[in-house]
A and B are shown apart, each in its own frame.
Chain A
Amino acid sequence: MSWKKTLIKEAKKLIDMYPEKRSALGPLLYLALREERYISNDAISEISTLIGITEAQVQSVATFYSMYKQEPVGKYLISVCKSVVCEISGSSVVNKELMEATNLNYFGSDEDGLFTIEQVECIGACGGAPSIQVNYETIENIQEGKVSELCNWLETEQPNVINSDEIQNKFGGRKSFDWGIQDNSGSTGPYPGFQSYKTAGERS
């Protein structure tokens, strides 16, 4: 899919934020993810033209970082932390339950494009271990039984914005710290929700 004019305009705006064009490479890869849920060859070609580097250079960066997915991911990307604190706090139970609930293996996506599941390294929610993320929105201290509830909820409700507060309150437990401030913002897909990349939204 070649990039539309509006998308190219958006990309140029991001490029203008930096003293050197190439710094916008990461942000542009997020735009690519937002459009297609993976980094396609077309996106690589568009980005290389916009920044003025070779396609191989774009590719080498895109494949270095684990969040730039090389194949299409589902509407909901569920990432289970397996680093040491979650590991000693029962993340293997969470893993097992998630694989059963979605009938998938890591790194697997279902046929209708709803779920992709993966195991990831530390997500900085160790005080509430075991922790997981849905579209990079955190659920701390997810207990046995709650993983399948989460999957059911996602499948039935199919929310367009995943908001941490909402999924934490529904499916989480003890938190790393008091989150304080109420928040309705979240991500609109399987990438981090962030204003500057127009990947964030408000929960309805």
Chain B
Amino acid sequence: MRENRLLTKHMYENPLDSHTIKSYINNGGYEALRLVLKELNPEKVLDEVKDSNIRGRGGAGFPTGTKWGFLAEEETRYLVINADESEPGTFKDRILLERDPHQIIEGMLVTSYAFNISKAFIYIRGEYAKSARRVQAAVQEAYQEGFLGENILGTGFSLEIVVHLGAGAYICGEETALLNSLEGKRGEPRLKPPFFPAVMGLYNKPTLVNNVETISAIPWILQNSGKAYSKLGTEGSTGTRIFSLSGHVNKPGNYEIEMGCTFREFMEGLGGGVLEGKNVKAFIPGGASAPWFTGDQLDIKMTIDDVAEAGSMLGSGAVIIMDEDTSMLRAAKSIVSFFAHESCGQCTPCREGTTWMESILERIESGRGRASDIELLLDISDNISPGLDWPPKMTTICPLGPSAVSPIVSLMDHFRDEVESLIPRKISL
């Protein structure tokens, strides 16, 4: 099994200076921008992106062309790049930010030109300080070389980019929370409707919000055509995708592959198999929010639709492998306590539910579990997402609460015995 490097090609071919504008241009960089500016046909950009069938790489997997098609007409519109990568297991945007920042800037330029946008933002999580420095340096280079600022390459098109640092809130990866954060407010998700970013986004203006990986694919799509992109991968999951592989594997890392192989092929072919040749007890197919699969589900195909059909999601493309010795209770507790910490506190089921679930898991772990705890955990879960289905029904504004339900349901579906064995039997007197 091999990688197919479209977005990571430049960085691997020029490992020491792929971040500089000189290296980027010498290797065909900013050609997509020149092409688009020369043809002076903004509609063509949207057509190509629609043809590519690319789906957003942030987690929700919504078709990018459709999302762009919703952007309302208004004089002032904004583009915001979501670089708040914080889903446990995910580190694919980090490599794009650090090692090929100009590819992101070029994607932003082409997109902004297509929608007549003159102000764009990159929102980078505060913990990615090094990535932010790289991107900021690249933005400065782009200004100096005339790719940003007024009258770009003499065409009359202007674009300003501001790099903005987050401050440690996972929830700001949710696009409306991100917009609130960028407006200097608490990162609380907004209600949709009415606050669909494409209509009422940043400062209530129509706004495109795209993930780092999605925007990085735009230059390739424009240079090689949307059709060429759509021929890669599978029909519903076109193109390549950077998967972050982590956990108990020999070679964790970022791998850019065409979607369509199985998790087993991926884990063994690129990840070098499980550490010490152990068995896979469970794995998470798409970041900590996704319901788990067990070791006997490794032959599921890595496409958005196949994973959804099997009851989970490809999410942010983070594959986490857990070997046979993993305590599933501790894994679940870690994920639930993540969501308890990151809940913004707006909706009661999420704010209260995640915290209570964390406490209950803690008492089971410390040997003080009660016989009723398993049903109690499921009951709280049911109050957050009624029916415990996937995709979840929601009682909350955003999907954070239901994400905390995933590990509980997975734990009880597949490893209930293990949890029961940790609960002391009632002593009869």
Contacts and interface: CB of A to CB of B under 8 A. Distances in A.
Interface of A: 17-27, 29-30, 51, 60-61, 64-68, 82-85, 87-89, 120-129, 133, 136-138, 164, 174, 176-183, 185-187, 192-197, 200
Given A64-B186, A178-B15, A84 B252 contact: no
Contacts of B126: 65, 67, 136, 192
B133 A83 contact: no
Contacts of A183: 130
B364 interface: no
B408 interface: no
B86 interface: yes
Interface in B131-173: 132-133, 136-137, 162-170
Given A194-B136, A200-B129, 11 more contacts: A20-B184, A27-B164, A66-B167, A121-B342, A122-B90, A124-B85, A124-B128, A126-B89, A136-B126, A192-B127, A192-B129
Instruction: Name the prevailing secondary structure of the B interface residues.
Output: mixed
Closest 4 CB pairs of A and B: A25-B184, A192-B129, A65-B167, A22-B184
B181 to A, nearest CB: 7
Contacts of B162: 17-18
9 contacts: A26-B166, A64-B187, A65-B169, A67-B168, A84-B320, A121-B341, A127-B91, A133-B127, A179-B98
Contact of A88 (B125, B133, B181, B322): B322
Contacts, number: 196
Interface residues of B, number: 68
Contacts of A85: 88-89, 246-247, 320
Interface of B: 11, 15-19, 85-91, 94-95, 98-99, 119, 125-130, 132-133, 136-137, 162-170, 181-187, 203, 244-248, 252-254, 284, 288, 318, 320, 322, 326, 330-331, 334-335, 337-338, 341-342, 344
A65 B162 CA distance: 21
Contact of A84 (B163, B185, B288): B288
A26 to B, nearest CB: 6
B129 A137 contact: yes
Contact of A181 (B85, B89, B98, B185): B98
Given A22-B183, A60-B186, A124-B90, A193 B129 contact: yes
Given A66-B168, A177-B254, A195-B136, A87 B331 contact: yes
B334 A82 contact: yes
Given A26-B181, A87-B334, A185-B130, A20 B18 contact: no
Contacts of A200: 129, 133
A128 B94 CA distance: 13
Contacts of B132: 192, 194
Given A83-B288, A128-B252, A180 B15 contact: yes
Contacts of B170: 121-122
A138 B16 CA distance: 20
B415 to A, nearest CB: 14
B150 to A, nearest CB: 16
A138 B130 contact: yes
Contact of A61 (B18, B94, B186, B318): B186
B342 A181 contact: no
Nearest to A51: B184
A85 B326 CA distance: 11
